[in-house]
């Protein structure tokens, strides 16, 4: 049976290997990753692991023995350098050439860098890999000053973890509010207040112009209005860029990621792509989009493994995401595309509420803080496209069960 080559041993690639065996694929599997360790979960790197509440072993997707025991040839510490679709081969950084019958591109995304002076000083950090997380953790501790550049989820989680470790944290965000790209105003205001109450400072609507240091080590962040902020380390969390070069250079269509269909197939029937690297259809929203989430990586890993193993395709899922900060569990389902109003249910002041994004009477997305029923029922409503009565949704004395009854 077919030889499957997977490029990228991250959450998507590692999961695809596991689902292939689970679904009965018997052919060879080769999994190539440029990091030195087997596939692991990234979410704890800014949360439990960073705070010291989870050890490295608990992050692994599978035991280290699993790969050899399941006939999965795991090649670590090597990069895939080029893809030749004509000969169905991939050249690796150690000059080895690996052939395939079916290729899965699962190269993920990398942290976006800030093209400003001082970006290469020691102590200017990013957070994508376990090695990045080690460096960040080493820079934190009682009384240390961390500047977080970018008020997105990774930056905010790191700020919360820094506080838990006794460090100071200041978040610099270019937009007028944090989470501007990914969440609504209600959420931005809520998270800003919650962080401020726990000692995190914010500089909003201002850019970082330069990192300044002494003896090669960062000491200050210079803002666009020329104020300077002293710090011991800076975490740059300004988004991620898909690692789609290998696909693009092989002539596969890329638009902010490798373009795939619902089955995670590229235009080449022998080449699939999954995870953060893909620009994928969102049938619920009639558009293509690049998602960065574990549920997306898992969904596409299942889709690909099903197709290769000859199983029926799983039913498409509603996209979802989560973030943990302090004692807050944020769960988001759907995407707020085309929404024309929002409904707030519950009380942000009590740190238990949900924001529903509606298009007419149809729920497009829900952002739920410490509100699992709102998240769960909201997710079902998004998937079923069932219409809701907005006044009942807004009324927390009406249970979510009754809202959908």
Residues binding ligand FAD (CB under 6 A)? 7-13, 32-35, 42-43, 45-46, 79-80, 106-109, 127-128, 154, 243, 246, 275-277, 292-295, 297, 321-323
Pick 43 or 123: Cβ nearer ligand FAD: 43
338 closest CA partner among 286, 300, 270? 286
Pick 297 or 393: Cβ nearer ligand FAD: 297
Pick 225 or 249: Cβ nearer ligand FAD: 249
Closest distance to ligand FAD from the beta carbon of 300 (Å):
8
357 closest CA partner among 376, 332, 322? 332
Tokens of 311: 């199983």
Residue nearest to ligand FAD (CB): 10
Closest distance to ligand FAD from the beta carbon of 276 (Å):
4
Strand locations in 72-206, DSSP E? 72-76, 80-84, 89-92, 97-99, 102-105, 109-111, 124-125, 145-149, 168-173, 201-204
Closest distance to ligand FAD from the beta carbon of 67 (Å):
15
Pick 28 or 295: Cβ nearer ligand FAD: 295
Closest distance to ligand FAD from the beta carbon of 123 (Å):
18
Pick 147 or 246: Cβ nearer ligand FAD: 246
Q: Which residues contact 65 (CB under 8 A, 6 or more apart)?
A: none
Contact 284, 334 (CB under 8 A): yes
Pick 275 or 346: Cβ nearer ligand FAD: 275
Q: Which residues contact 100 (CB under 8 A, 6 or more apart)?
A: 3, 4, 5, 30, 88, 89, 90, 270
Residue 322: strand pairing partners: 331
Closest distance to ligand FAD from the beta carbon of 12 (Å):
3
Closest distance to ligand FAD from the beta carbon of 405 (Å):
31
Burial of 289 (0-12, 13-18, 19+ CB in 10 A): middle
């Amino acid at each position: 049976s077919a030889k499957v080559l997977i490029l990228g041993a991250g959450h998507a690639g590692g999961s695809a290997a596991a689902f292939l065996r689970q679904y009965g694929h018997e052919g060879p599997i080769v999994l190539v990753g440029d990091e030195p360790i087997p596939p692991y979960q990234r979410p704890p790197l800014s949360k439990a692991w960073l705070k010291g509440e989870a050890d490295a072993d608990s992050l692994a997707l599978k035991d280290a023995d699993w790969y050899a025991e399941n006939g999965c040839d795991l090649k670590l510490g090597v990069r895939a350098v080029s893809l030749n679709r004509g000969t169905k081969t991939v050249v690796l950084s150690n000059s080895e050439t690996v052939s395939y019958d079916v290729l899965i591109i699962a190269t993920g995304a990398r942290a976006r860098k800030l093209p400003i002076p001082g970006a290469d000083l020691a102590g200017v950090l990013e957070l994508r890999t376990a090695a990045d997380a080690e460096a960040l953790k080493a820079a934190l501790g009682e009384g240390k000053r961390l500047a977080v550049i970018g008020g997105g989820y990774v930056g905010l989680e790191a700020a919360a973890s820094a506080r838990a470790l006794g460090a100071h944290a200041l978040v610099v965000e270019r937009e007028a509010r944090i989470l501007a790209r990914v969440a609504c105003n209600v959420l931005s205001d809520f998270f800003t207040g919650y962080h401020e109450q726990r000692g995190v400072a914010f500089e909003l609507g201002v850019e970082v112009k330069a990192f300044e240091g002494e003896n090669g080590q960062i000491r200050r962040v210079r803002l666009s209005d020329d104020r300077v902020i002293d710090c011991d380390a800076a975490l740059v969390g300004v988004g991620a860029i898909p690692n789609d070069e290998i696909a693009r250079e092989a002539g596969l269509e890329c638009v902010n990621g490798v373009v795939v269909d619902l089955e995670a197939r590229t235009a080449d029937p022998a080449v699939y792509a999954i995870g953060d690297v893909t620009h994928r259809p969102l049938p619920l929203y009639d558009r293509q989009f690049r998602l960065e989430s574990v549920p997306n990586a898992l969904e596409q890993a299942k889709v690909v493994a099903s197709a290769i193993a000859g199983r029926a395709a799983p039913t498409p899922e509603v996209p979802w995401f989560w973030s943990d900060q302090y004692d807050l569990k944020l769960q988001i389902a759907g995407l707020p595309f085309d929404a024309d109003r929002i409904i707030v249910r519950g009380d942000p002041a009590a740190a238990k509420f949900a924001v529903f994004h509606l298009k007419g009477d149809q729920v497009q997305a829900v952002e739920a803080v410490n509100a699992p029923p709102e998240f769960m029922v909201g997710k079902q409503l998004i998937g079923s496209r069932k219409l809701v009565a907005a006044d009942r949704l807004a009324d927390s004395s009406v249970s979510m069960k009754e809202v959908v009854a």
